[in-house]
Each structure stands twice: as C-alpha cells, then as structure tokens.
Amino acid sequence: MSLFARNRKLASFVLFILGTQAAIAQTPPAAAPALDEPELVEFDTSKTRSIAVPALVAPAPTDTAAGNSLALGRQIAEVISSDLRASGVFETQGPNGLRAITLPEVATPQFDYWKSRPVEQLVQGFVRVGGDGNLTVGCYLYDVGFGNETTRLGFNVPPREWRRAAHKCADAIYSRLTGELPFFDSRIAYIAESGPKNKRIKRLAIMDSDGANHRFITNGQSTALTPRFSPNYKSILYLSYVDGSPRIYVYDIDAGRQRLITQSTSPTFAPRWSPDGQTILYSMAVSGNTDVYKIAASGNGTPVKLTSSPGIDVGGSFSPDGRQIVFESDRSGSQQVYVMNADGSNQRRISFGSGRYATPEWSPRADLIAFTRIAGDFRVGTMRPDGSGERLLTDSWQDEAPTWAPNGRVIQFFRTAKGSGKTSIWQVDLTGSNERQLPTPIDGSDPAWGPVLP
Amino acid sequence: MKTNTIKMAAILLVSTALVAGCGKKTVEVLPPAAEGTDYGQTPTAPIAPTSQIVPGSQEDFLQQVGQFGDRILFETDRFNVDAEDQAVLQRQAQWLAQYPGTRAIVEGHADERGTRDYNLALGERRANSAKNYLTSIGVDASRIQTVSYGKERPSALGSDEQSWAQNRRAVTVTVR
C-alpha cells in the first residue's frame, strides 16, 4: 500500500483537514514513493533518527473531562514522544527539556533554532477545545534539514480519548518516516498473573499498546488463559475454567456477557479469530485426541473438523487473506509447524530445524510466521510461510507465544522466569533489536495484539 | 453439576495438600526435601487417626492406594501407561470397585517446559490414558471424568528435571 493510500486510511479517524492545505489529499512536499511500489524508505533500525516533540500549544487553555487542555498538550506530546522512542527507530527529545512553542510557530517552525539543537525531525501541534467539548488536536511533522512540512493531520476526539489522538499522530509520523504501516493506536488482550507458582491467579485483562488504559475483565476466581481480541475489538475469545474444565468463551466487552463457542462437552482451547472475524478456529480434545476445528463466529454454524491425525494437532493462525492456516502438530513425533488450506486440505510440514516448533502466528503482512522454538530454552523466531529463512529473535530461558503488531514489524511475547515462574510481556522488532518489557500492573502472559483502530 | 464441581474443587485442594510432589519413577534419585518443591506441606504421619476416615471418602482412597498411589507419571511428551503405572491404576480400580457409589476425576498435567496450548492437549491425553486403562480393567467409563490443567498447576515448584518429572502426571481424585 502506498503512503498516500495509507494516509487516507488514517483519515477515517480524522474529521477535518487542517489549515489551507488539504495535506491528506495532496502529495506531501517531500519526495513521495510511487503508488503500489516497494517503499522507498528502508526500515533500518540501525539508523535512529532524532526527533523533537515540544508540548502541543493550547491557544485557549480550557478545562475538559480529561483535565485542562494546557496539560493535555504536554501529555499528548509525551505519548507521541514515548511511542516513537519505544519503536526503537527514533531518538526523541521532549517535551521535557524543550522550550514552549507559540501558536504561530506551529505552522511556521523556527528551523534555524531546531537545526542548532541539533535535531532532524520536528513534531509540533495544538490542542483546542470545541464548543461541543471535544478536542481538536493538530499534528504537524517537519523535516528540519530540508526546512519543510511533510505531514499534517487533525483529529477530533472526546477528551477521554486524547491518548488515541496522540497515538494516531505518532502512527502518522512513524509511517511517514519509516514507510511502514502504523501500529501504535491498537490494543492488547493478555492474562494478568499473580500468586505463587502452584496457585497462580490468572485474570483476563486489556490495555492500549503502550500499557495505558489498563482494565481487568475477569476477577481471577477461575483461571483464564489465551485471549484473542476480535478484529473489531468488540469481543474477546479466551479459555476459562469457570465450569471446572477448559472451555472457550466469547466475551462481549460492552455487554459484559460471555457464551460458549460450542456446546460440546469436550474440552476446547487455543481459540483464534479469522482475519474477517467471521470464523473461530479452536482445538478440541475428544477421548484424549486433540484436533483443530473451525466454527462460524455467530455461534449458529456446525463445527468443521480440519485435522484428523492421531497426534496432537493444536493452535493455528489464519493467513491474512484467510485462505490458509498455520498450526502445530506432533504427528511426526514432536511438535512441528504445518500449513494447510482453510478447508483442511493440503497439510504440509514447514519447520525442519533442530528442536520443536510451536505456537505459529501468521504475520498480518503475510510474509512471515512467528513461532516458539523449543531446543532446551524457548526462543521466539520467524520463518517464511514455506519454512525458509528461519531467524531467532530472542534468547532467554523461556520466551513463548509470539503475537504480531498490526504492522507486522514488531513481535510481542511473554517471558517466564526460571524457578519463580514469574511472567512478563516483552516486545522485539524483526531484526531482534529493541527488545523491551511492556509495563503491566502485575505479571503478564499470553499477549494478543489487535489491529490498528479505525 | 455446579455443586459437584465445587465439591470436586474442594476435594482437589485437600488432595493437593495431602500428597507430596514426589513420584514413584524418580523416587530413588530424589533428595528427601528438594528446595522449591511443596514437600513442606507433606504430612509425615497420617492426617487423621484411621478411625476418623470415612470409608469411601477421598481420604480413604488416599490411604488405601498408598503414598503416591493416586497418580502415575510420564516421560517428556509421552502419555503411555507402563507396567508400573498399571499396578497403581489396578489398586485405584480395586478401591473404585469397593465403592461403586463413587466417581473419579482424572487430572492430567504437564511440566512447565512445554507451550501452553500443547500442554493442555498433552494433559488431556495423559488423563485419558489413565481413564482408558481403568475402564479396560472394569471401571465403568461413566464414572470417570477427565480434566487437563496443562502446565497451570504444578505439584513440584522447581525448574529442574526432578520437579518436571513429578509434574508430568495424571492424578485420580475421587468424588462421592
């Protein structure tokens, strides 16, 4: 997808065009990549770019439900700066330590000043409170060296969603400067853990991609495992022991209700959504033998059994076009990764390295499959859908269960500590660089990253 | 069903506290109290005087089948019932034959060195192996339920071969 089309997609969140220049609909001043061609901008994390993010200007400071707009201007800059820094691609300055800018400067930066800091890129913006109480957030990206504007976006949000405006701004900047698709404005479902190793309390929880807006969904009375956000974020598939045995439920976030995905009395686990949210993939053990099934997400359909080997066939992940499924099976004698068509036909093994291969997850970009490799320690890695190009990204005692950022450039997983069994959520980029822990209130496991919000 | 589940859960907690994390297949090589396991909870004497144990109860079952007689252990990724396991399950079957009004839940477990989903499947396989053997020697299948806990409920808490050997298990818990 071209940057042009990408920015238009971002604009679904944008309710207006800033200033006199219809930035979104016009070609940016800097050299833009040709449509539908390989990106001109190389994703190169070895070369970090310096970027300054002074506090957004609040021309008329006004109280809102989320605080005064003057404070929000600084907080939004902090989130933009934090997102960009966490991506590993940027060295950020500000808003702390940077001088306050004036409203006229937002559209007319003092390039000489910023050149002298020195800094390569500059993000400026403003926050206004409208008559309806909503925030208007303006977000401008400047190339300091060239002295020109490269991106300009505006967002209209209720005050409580100010972080989303910040993430959208950071996403636009990240996309413009790296040529990659956005990913900051997205959410994560995971399992919050506490308690001793043999009596672990495991609760379903959700949070923004940066750990903010954290919320527990279940109270921990019954063990919850392996959540997956639906593509529209309206519901969550997860495993619960609420009735004594492992079963998959669909939890409706707004209604606060859940239902079983199938009425079978057999244990069901390892739930996954198809990319269009219409189908649920799951594993079910019948008389001890586990196979992979799919069923309509509406709950009205009949389950379709996709595998039938006498071994354990489990898990699975749809390709982004929904036509194939990657899953794991021990039919060869040990856990390995297999690919099949979505109807179960043409099952073939793709992992042939040393050790066992588990928890395959197809990248939203379709080009790679992430997995857990078990060879003594557990490491997270990627391979192409034909099994070639294997690359290990982490090296720890037990790293497990990769989940993809919506842009397919960052992978999240959970790490278990030897002995204590304590867990934490980490992320790493595709080069194996920029590994960092995600902040969670208590221990965390089984992360599942959702798509970019519309 | 709901009441039964709660009852089972209560019994399960008791049984976890009563039995040691020790297992027959590794008993020779195990130190008496490895650090990090739940040996501390292991009673050195019977829990209660024999006279207080109600015949047909879970306590009675544990006493009758002997120490660790409520469980069989497995090799990594394996789920087969060997001759040693068969002897254990035969004693369980004898007790179940003695108390036809009881039922049993076989819990299948895996060690922490497997991925979560696979371990759930593996625990289910192990529980079914025990169940299948019990039914093959005469226990009515309708009396036996299975449940897999995967790697969620370790018995031994260490991250070492001995602990993992104790955690790869199928444990029979009786319900009246």
Tens digits of residue pLDDT in A61-111: 999 999 999 999 999 999 999 999 999 899 999 999 999 999 999 999 999
Determine which of A242, A291, A312, A398 to mutate to test the interface with B (most B C-beta atoms within 10 Å): A312
CA atoms within 13 A on the CB side of A40: 10
What phi and psi values does residue A373 have, to the nearest 5 degrees? -100, 130
Q: Does B15 touch chain A (CB under 8 A)?
A: no
Mean pLDDT of A271-281: 97
Dump pLDDT digits (tens) for A285-321. 999 999 999 999 988 889 999 999 999 999 999 999 9
A246:B77 CB<8 A: no
Instruction: Tell me what pLDDT residue A424 has.
Output: 98
Locate the chain A residue with the closest alpha carbon to B156.
A198
DSSP 3-state assignment of B4? helix
Instruction: Tell me what pLDDT residue B51 has.
Output: 65
Dump pLDDT digits (tens) for A9-31. 333 344 344 443 333 222 232 33
Among residues A246, A274, A272, which one has the least CA distance to residue A260? A246
User: Among residues 16-75 of chain B, which lie with CB inside 8 Å of chain A?
Assistant: 16, 36, 38
H or E segment and range at residue A379: strand A377-383
- Domains assigned to chain A: 3-178 (3.40.50.10070), 186-452 (2.120.10.30)
Selecting from B36, B38, B150 the residue whose C-beta is nearest the C-beta of A419 gives B36
Q: Which residues of B touch A290 (CB under 8 A)?
A: 121, 124-125
Those residues with Cβ within 8 angstroms of residue A109's Cβ, 6 or more apart along the chain or in another chain? A122, A124, A142, A144
Only one residue has tokens 């996954």, namely: A272
A-B C-beta contacts closer than 8 Å: 106
Mean pLDDT of A265-287: 97
Mean pLDDT of A359-367: 97
Q: Is the predicted pLDDT of residue B44 greater than 60, yes or no?
A: no
Q: Confidence class of residue B49 from pLDDT cuts 50, 70 and 90?
A: low
Instruction: Tell me what pLDDT residue B50 has.
Output: 56
DSSP of A181-205: PP-SSEEEEEEEEES-GGG-EEEEE
Q: Which residues of B touch A374 (CB under 8 A)?
A: 113-115
Mean pLDDT of A386-413: 97
Q: Confidence class of residue A210 from pLDDT cuts 50, 70 and 90?
A: very high
- Domains assigned to chain B: 2-31+54-175 (3.30.1330.60)
Q: Does B155 touch chain A (CB under 8 A)?
A: yes
- As for the ipTM of the complex, it is 0.89
Q: Which residues of A touch B113 (CB under 8 A)?
A: 374, 398
Q: Output the average pLDDT for chain A.
A: 90
